Amino acid sequence: RRATARSRCEGRVEMEQAGAWGTVCDDAWDLADANVVCRQLRCGWAMRVHGNATFGRGSGPILRDEVGCKGHEEHLWDCPAVLEHDCSHKEDAGVVCSEHQEWRLSGGQDGCAGRVEVFFRGTWSTVCDSTWYKLEASVLCHTLGCGEPIRQLNFSHTLPGRMLYQCESHQPSLAHCQWTFNKSAPCHQSRAAGVVCNGT
């Protein structure tokens, strides 16, 4: 299955059957069902479930309705479900898994300046500045649609978690770079990274 979203660990749920990709209807779609999807994609566990085509309307057949996973199944297609449906694509199901990362800049005048914060495994965390350089800042500004970095800032760590990023080259997002979460050694004596991008 593939996701159409900010990372491969969130999005509209799609599955392949007989060579065609299709969607899942949101009737009875719940955390147990979404957990199976997240585990199958190696994306951790389900943080949020979505219906009503939150991630856009899919196309092709609607392959499952009234999905009733217990949560321990290995694949979504192992779960009981109704194959005849009364749905349309405006009811396509979606999920946000724990391994999905999203970012924001907080405390600035707009969303393009401030302290770097990442939502990961259900909580907002700060980013250690020990390996935060122009490249990492540039990847983030691009991901947020904020142009290029013009200034680096640093702040205090006041959130429970800490993320460390190291990019070797210009990636589509920081999640594609090397990252470590809550490892104390590389973050020891670090400050929380911040950036001012030139966009608004």
pLDDT in tens, 75-130: 999 999 998 888 999 999 999 999 999 999 999 889 999 999 999 998 999 999 99
Q: How many CB atoms lie within 10 A of CB 14?
A: 20
Quick: pLDDT tens for 6-65: 678 999 999 999 999 999 999 999 999 999 999 999 999 999 999 999 999 999 999 999
What confidence score (pLDDT) does residue 140 get? 97
Statement: residue 1 has pLDDT above 60: no
Measure Cα distances from 154 to 5, 14, 63, 128 in Å: 30, 41, 49, 9
Q: What is the pTM assigned to this prediction?
A: 0.78
Q: Where are the alpha helices (DSSP H) in the chain?
A: 31-40, 134-143, 184-187
Give the pLDDT band of residue 184 (cuts 50, 70, 90).
Answer: confident
10-97 and 101-197 have identical folds: yes
> Rounded mean pLDDT of 156-180?
94
Domain ranges, ordered by start, for the chain = 10-97, 101-197
pLDDT at 3: 38
Nearest to 49 by CA among 64, 27, 82: 27
pLDDT value of position 8: 84
pLDDT at 158: 95
Please state which of the four CATH numbers 2.40.128.20, 3.10.250.10, 3.20.20.70, 3.30.830.10 is assigned to the domain occupying 10-97: 3.10.250.10
Q: Rounded to 10 degrees, what is the CA torsion of 111, 114, 120, 125?
A: -150
Neighbours of 67 (CB within 10 A): 25
Predicted local confidence at residue 5, as pLDDT: 56
Domain 101-197 class, CATH top level: alpha beta
